[in-house]
A = this chain, B = another copy of it.
Amino acid sequence: MTDDDTTSARGGLKPGKRPTINDVARIAAVSKKTVSRVINQSPFVREETRVRVNQVIEELGFTPDAQARGLAFRRSFLVGLIYDNPSPNYVVNMQQGVLDALRGSGLELVVHPCVRSSETLVADIRAFVERQKLFGVILPPSMSEDERVIEVLRELDCPYVRIASVSLDEAGSMLVTNDHLGAAEAGRHLADLGHSRIGFISGPALFRSSAVRGGGFREGLAEKGITLDDRYVAVGAYTFESGVEAAKTLLALDPPPTAIFTGNDEMALGVFKVARDMGLEIPRDLSVVGYDDLPMASRVWPNLTSVRLPIRDMGRMAAEKLLAPMRGLDPAKLNQPEVRPSLVVRDSATTL
């Protein structure tokens, strides 16, 4: 439609071809290096020149080619999200946060799921990062906890930010979620409600958060003089189905627990299901506390009491750390609040 409007500026352009930096340079009557400087916001361009070049860029509808830039820069404009998390809800929330941070940065997000137990995991990740020459990588749990992967990233000189419940790396490449604090709060809460025969459904051993949340929970109970009985601990896999299995085991104990704390919300819903199937009413017959506070926690019935983790914010903050150097900031010194999980009391846990 507006082809004619730009005829003057497009003079000499081959039809059907995208304008390149050469076209911009020719029409703006500068060298392509100067155009490159304008694109990359170099300060060494006279204001007048910059304006003229930007005007031509605008008129031509010029968009720098990511492949060509990447080839010359030896680095792409792609951020990788490498994950193995079994909870799609967790992943999608974090992904949204990462995208929040990337918006307007010129970087794009490549999602790369993988299987941590796969024999080819390390080779796969190496190929992915090397081939795409990623700008950087974000690693949610439990990918963040695999030192073989970290080793590869270091070797390939690929910046990364790890998200984990405890610190595993230097501040600039680490986002700590302090899960022991939230779990301790859950423990104190259940103890305060008068529970003492309490069950715990742990996440899988592969996740640091499983042990950290379990440890924090024990700690919180201990503060109130309660000891978690190992017979009342079941190991799940952070999935709904595993929550179902673990709940069956725990509720078959004699005497059964009066309350159950689960390593994440997904498994808490599994407890909900088993309780209903057994004719137990929550919270009257069984108190349940989850972890993560996914959106669904406040949509199920009864509303799930859960430890809130700001998953989306975590994704955003991790991405901001990754982008910090590009903005001339020190990733270790961003003015980011520490992640402090906190208990959201709803209706699924009550006094004994």
Contacts and interface: CB of A to CB of B under 8 A. Distances in A.
Contact of A63 (B76, B95, B131, B295): B131
A109 interface: yes
Interface residues of A, number: 42
Interface string A112-153: 110000000000001110111100000000000000000000
A296 interface: yes
A67 B71 contact: yes
A66 to B, nearest CB: 5
A108 B88 contact: no
Given A108-B132, A131-B65, A88 B78 contact: no
Contact of A113 (B68, B99, B295): B99
A88 B99 contact: no
Interface stretch (A29-37, A161-169, A268-276): A268-276
A13 interface: no
Interface string A289-311: 00000011001110000000000
Interface in A258-284: 269, 272-273, 276
Given A88-B92, A99-B111, A112-B108, A131 B301 contact: no
A70 B272 CA distance: 51
Given A68-B71, A92-B92, A301-B300, A63 B130 contact: yes
A99 to B, nearest CB: 6
A110 interface: yes
A240 interface: yes
A91 interface: yes
Given A68-B71, A76-B66, A108 B133 contact: no
Contact of A66 (B63, B89, B131, B300): B131
A110 B76 CA distance: 13
A26 interface: no
A256 B95 CA distance: 41
Contacts of A269: 299
A153 to B, nearest CB: 15
Contacts of A113: 96, 99
B78 A110 contact: yes
A194 interface: no
A285 to B, nearest CB: 15
Contacts of A64: 131
Across the A-B interface, give the 10 residue pairs with the lowest CB-CB distance, nearest first.
A67-B70, A92-B92, A67-B71, A88-B92, A63-B130, A66-B131, A108-B110, A63-B131, A67-B67, A269-B299
29 contacts: A18-B130, A63-B126, A63-B127, A63-B131, A65-B133, A66-B133, A67-B76, A67-B133, A70-B70, A71-B71, A88-B92, A88-B93, A88-B96, A89-B89, A91-B92, A92-B92, A92-B95, A99-B111, A108-B110, A108-B112, A108-B132, A109-B110, A111-B111, A240-B295, A240-B299, A272-B299, A273-B299, A276-B301, A300-B300
Interface of A: 18, 63-68, 70-71, 76, 78, 88-89, 91-93, 95-96, 99, 108-113, 126-128, 130-133, 240, 269, 272-273, 276, 295-296, 299-301
